[in-house]
Amino acid sequence: MSFIYIWISTIVRILELKVENLSPEMKATLKYLAGIAGPSGYGSKTTAQQISEDSMPSSHDNLTAIVTGATSGIGLETARVLAKRGVRVVMPARDLSKAERVKESIQKESPQAEIIILEIDLSSFGSIQRFCSEFLSLGLPLHILINNAGKYSQKLEFSEDKIELTFATNYLGHFLLTEMLLGKMVETAAESCIEGRIVNVSSVIHNWVNPKHFSFMKLLNPKSYNGTKAYAQSKLANILHAKELSRQLKAKKANVTINAVHPGIIKTGITRDYRGFLTGMQNILFLGFDSSLFLYVQTKLYCLLIGIFSSDSLYFVASKLLKSTSQGAATTCYVALSPRVEGMSGKYFADCNESHCSALANDESNARKLWKQTRALMHRRFLLPVGKCGEGEEANTN
């Protein structure tokens, strides 16, 4: 398979040198394929381990972080790297036995690692409430919250709260988790004088969402269902959440930031569960390419792969173009740990650099509208306190 790497790398470098007037999206895609570092000094080939070694002084070994989805994939790698650097890691987990095995594996590598396992089902509002109550009862500080867990479902399923499962897990679950822990984060930041950081793990696939189809009520209980669209909509919601909560935190002058990240196209459980996701890979890699030359290269490469390989072989070849788990966790760790990100909030990052998200994701009115609708839902279900600022419900940071 080495010829594929050489071929693609050569094409990328030729295009980067020869094609003028590239859009930002084109340049970002080329940098991703070639592994070229951006303004931060990091790029698509950077690993989470590199980020942690560059970012964390030993004086920060008393930090506490919650990492959802830490029993596999980039969540596990994020937890491993943080624990290795002395961060106390809290692992919310649905499968406690699996979480214990992960804990043992991390502590085998880093005997000093402090890892706390607490039960949670992010699709269940009741389970999230129990987790937060249990965590808060420990009396620990909270410096970092990484909303990483992701769910992809090919068929229409519903949570125990009668909400479409992908949206319930990826967006609503993390929204409620953040809401219930935000007061502790603001308190910790004020007492420790260390900036609190919230990271929403999103995806470039949020670009696929059609604004006409992004309806809160339809997301809760869709009449028709497409797994990829549902996943994309949930990831768009993650970014809108970060945008609006950032605005509110800035208004309150809280020393807590929230940003969204695209980890890259990674070999995780989601891509293993849905091979069709990879057949759409060319749309992600070449997203925003409006040049006929790029479209030509894209089409020829993709058709060649389809023509030569069976579906299983295509999956294998495509998977070789994906990021490793360590590379996938790098952007999350960069936004959570790097001093270069201090004070930055409401931003979208990819390959350890600030990046561009869709116009819909940047729409402040949509972000505020989604926030109000979500808060109203939470208030109806749980009687969560609703602020009374002039423009609607605000974050409860008290």
| pLDDT digit string, tens, across residues 137-174 | 999 999 999 999 999 888 999 999 999 999 999 999 99
Q: Which of 32, 42, 171, 225 is catalytic?
A: 225
- Residue whose entry in the numeric block shows the structure tokens 């990484």: 146
Is residue 304 pLDDT above 50, yes or no? Answer: no
Reply yes or no on whether the pLDDT at 311 is more than 60. Answer: no
The enclosing H or E element of 133 equals: helix 125-137
Query: What tens digit of pLDDT does each residue of 98-135 get?
Result: 999 999 999 999 999 999 999 999 999 999 999 999 99
DSSP, res 324 = P
pLDDT digits (tens, 9 = 90+) for 345-355: 999 999 999 99
Q: How many CB atoms lie within 10 A of CB 328?
A: 26
Residue 292 has pLDDT above 50, yes or no: no
Check residue 154 and give its pLDDT: 87
Most confident of the following: 48-57, 264-273, 366-375: 366-375
pLDDT at 334 over 60: yes
Pairwise CA distance, residues 249 & 145, whole Å: 15
How many residues in the chain?
Answer: 398
**pLDDT, mean over the chain:** 81
Q: Does the pLDDT value for residue 80 go beyond 80?
A: yes
| pTM of full prediction above 0.85 | no
Residue 212 has pLDDT above 50, yes or no: yes
Share of the chain above pLDDT 90, in %: 60
Identify whether 225 is a catalytic site residue.
yes
Q: Is the pLDDT of residue 213 over 90?
A: no
Per-residue pLDDT at 238 exceeds 90: yes
Cα 193–Cα 197–Cα 203 angle in degrees, nearest 5: 170
**pLDDT above 70 for 293:** no
How far is CA 268 from its chain centroid? Answer: 13
For residue 12, what pLDDT is reported? 53
Report which of residues 48 and 322 the model is more confident about: 48
Q: What is the mean pLDDT of residues 204-230?
A: 88
Question: What are the residues whose beta carbons fall under 8 Å from the beta carbon of 342, sequence distance 6 or more?
Answer: 195
Name the DSSP letter for residue 21.
Answer: S
Read off the pLDDT of each residue in 237-254 and give the average, rounded to a whole number.
98
Q: In this structure, what are the phi and psi dihedrals at residue 146, rounded to the nearest 5 degrees? A: -110, 105
Q: Of the candidates 201, 262, 243, which has an alpha carbon nearest to the alpha carbon of residue 345?
A: 243
Q: Extract the tokens encoding 329.
A: 């966790």
pLDDT for the residue 297: 42
